[in-house]
Structure 1
Amino acid sequence: MHDLSTRTVLVTGASSGIGEATAHAFAREGASVALAARRAGRLEEIAADLAAYDVETLVVPTDVRDESQVATMIDRTVDAFGTLDVLVNNAGLGRGSDVESLSTDQYRQMMDTNVDGCFFATRAALPHLRDADGTLVFVGSFAGQYPRGFNPVYAASKWWLRGFAHSVAAQVGELGVGVTVVNPSEVRTEFGSEDGDPFEERFDAGEVTEPEEVADAILFAARQDGSTVQELDIYRRDKFSEI
């Protein structure tokens, strides 16, 4: 098992929800943590909170849809810590809509974030992860495994993510890089706020998955040394009654 206190971790979408919980989880283990998202002020607040763990942190304001910003994000992380051991591709966007009602702007927002952003970050990080025998974690979704009539484009973006992740694993596994996809169902976060009430307001505590549970799964994947947890599914226990 990897000693996470010696690892450098970069978390995208770190300004709230799963990303914020993941940053805290790694910091508790003593890892150096780079925080990336668009909201610089919020990242600074989280970095201040992580100081309680006496770890090194770096705030890297980044829009993962912008290729040049993503390249800078990776470069700044490696420059600051000398290595990149774990990349958590967590940044994502969901818009609930049927195909006919989804605007082109909404479509582009999702695809640019969930597909392009994931590709840009993975491409820029892979040389460093190879050097470090590192770990690449993708935050997928239940929607990336089962048909979703009410948000098919979001679901398709997560199906793409899973296919991309497993294919990257086939490319870099023999080079020492572990690749894991973590698939939660509903998580009590800001997710869904673009189209109404966020999940953290729609669901009561204990009703669906909490961000910390997903963070624990990501931590488990990052600890593996020499083997890979290919995929972890985190569903509330009554989830399959809906299918």
Structure 2
Amino acid sequence: MASSLAGKSAIVTGASSGIGSETVHALAREGANVALAARREGRLNDIAEEVESDHDVEALVVPTDVTDETAVEDLVERTVEEFGGLDVLVNNAGLARGSAVDDLSTEEYRTMMDVNVDGSFFATRAALPHLEDSAGNLIYIGSFAGQYPRPFNPVYAATKWWVRGFAHSVAAAAGEDGVAVTVINPSEVRTEFGDGGSFNERFDEGEVTEPDEIADAVVFAASQENSTVSELDLYRRDKFSSF
């Protein structure tokens, strides 16, 4: 049976590693053409070559700083020109810096806000008209931190609460235009991401969620044609054992 994503087009931000790169592979495996957006062009080129070779799809590399609204607009425009439209946007780019409020520098604060909040807004704003045309899927990588208080990193948590609230509010507005909106909330994922040391260094394989599990969740959400997967939580199995 043909995949519902075959021949469709997608953008993945933060595509150069971790959840982003696995999502590119997962979407391509289902037959989607994918635009890869991140700042590390060399890594994007390597991933693009892999997915084109492995899955016989088109991969477009667009080096992008999601905090630059002009660059984000160019990303969307180039994708639409190359693929003839846009069916899926995966807002994955994000980072964590600093810790407690009194230890957080203004630069660290602004960087998190710029990437996690502004980046999601700029990409959503640029993509929405095209997703309305295609009755497409708009997917945000949220976080466990966007659902529960995080006393050791409240600003990062606040950015993810913002993403989650923004996504659900966009869903309320865009649903009548046929756009599906999903928030996927992982707890720890074994990637380069992490504050105070990357999660792939802190956890052994099997201890926490793997990035390909999040990518599979993205594919599941993006494959919906009539319904919306509003929210998906993917936590390690012992996440609540110490609560």
Q: TM-score, normalised by structure 2?
A: 0.97
Q: How does 1:124-139 map to 2 (within 5 A)?
A: 124-139=126-141
Q: CA contact under 8 A between 2:12 and 2:24: conserved in structure 1?
A: yes
Shift of 1:96: 4.0
For residues 197 and 93 of structure 2, the distance between their equivalents in structure 1, rounded to whole angstroms, comes to: 19
For residues 53 and 224 of structure 1, the distance between their equivalents in structure 2, rounded to whole angstroms, comes to: 21
Aligned match of 1:55:
57
Pair 1:148 & 2:150 matched: yes
Aligned match of 1:224:
224
For residues 23 and 238 of structure 1, the distance between their equivalents in structure 2, rounded to whole angstroms, comes to: 28
Shift of 1:6: 2.3
Q: CA contact under 8 A between 1:96 and 1:150: conserved in structure 2?
A: no
- With 233-242 and 144-153 compared, the bigger mean Cα shift is at 233-242
Shift of 1:242: 3.0
Aligned match of 1:13:
14
Q: CA contact under 8 A between 1:2 and 1:225: conserved in structure 2?
A: no
For residues 240 and 166 of structure 1, the distance between their equivalents in structure 2, rounded to whole angstroms, comes to: 25
Determine helix, strand or coil for the equivalent of 1:239.
coil
2:79 to 43, 64, 77: 77
For residues 166 and 174 of structure 1, the distance between their equivalents in structure 2, rounded to whole angstroms, comes to: 13
For residues 4 and 232 of structure 2, the distance between their equivalents in structure 1, rounded to whole angstroms, comes to: 21
Shift of 1:2: 6.9
2:189 corresponds to which letter in structure 1? V
For structure 1, the 5+ residue unaligned runs are none
Aligned match of 1:159:
161
Determine helix, strand or coil for the equivalent of 1:36.
strand
Pair 1:32 & 2:33 matched: yes
Aligned match of 2:45:
44
1:148 corresponds to which letter in structure 2? R
Q: CA contact under 8 A between 1:2 and 1:222: conserved in structure 2?
A: no
| 1:107-145 superposed Cα distances (whole Å, 9 cap, x missing partner) | 011000000000000000000000000000000000000
For residues 184 and 60 of structure 2, the distance between their equivalents in structure 1, rounded to whole angstroms, comes to: 24
| 1:20-67 superposed Cα distances (whole Å, 9 cap, x missing partner) | 000000111111011000001110000011122111110000000011
Quote the RMSD (CA, aligned, Å). 1.1
Determine helix, strand or coil for the equivalent of 1:87.
strand
Q: How many residues align?
A: 241
Aligned match of 2:93:
91
For residues 96 and 217 of structure 1, the distance between their equivalents in structure 2, rounded to whole angstroms, comes to: 29
Shift of 1:197: 2.3
For residues 132 and 184 of structure 1, the distance between their equivalents in structure 2, rounded to whole angstroms, comes to: 28
**Percent identity of the aligned residues?**
69
For structure 2, the 5+ residue unaligned runs are none
How has the CA–CA distance of structure 1 residues 137 and 2 changed in structure 2, closer, same or farther, with 3 Å as cutoff?
A: farther
Query: 4+ residue stretches of structure 1 with deviation over 6 A?
Result: none
1:183 to 177, 182, 185: 185
Q: TM-score, normalised by structure 1?
A: 0.97
Aligned match of 1:239:
239
Aligned match of 2:67:
65
1:37 corresponds to which letter in structure 2? A
For residues 215 and 53 of structure 1, the distance between their equivalents in structure 2, rounded to whole angstroms, comes to: 16
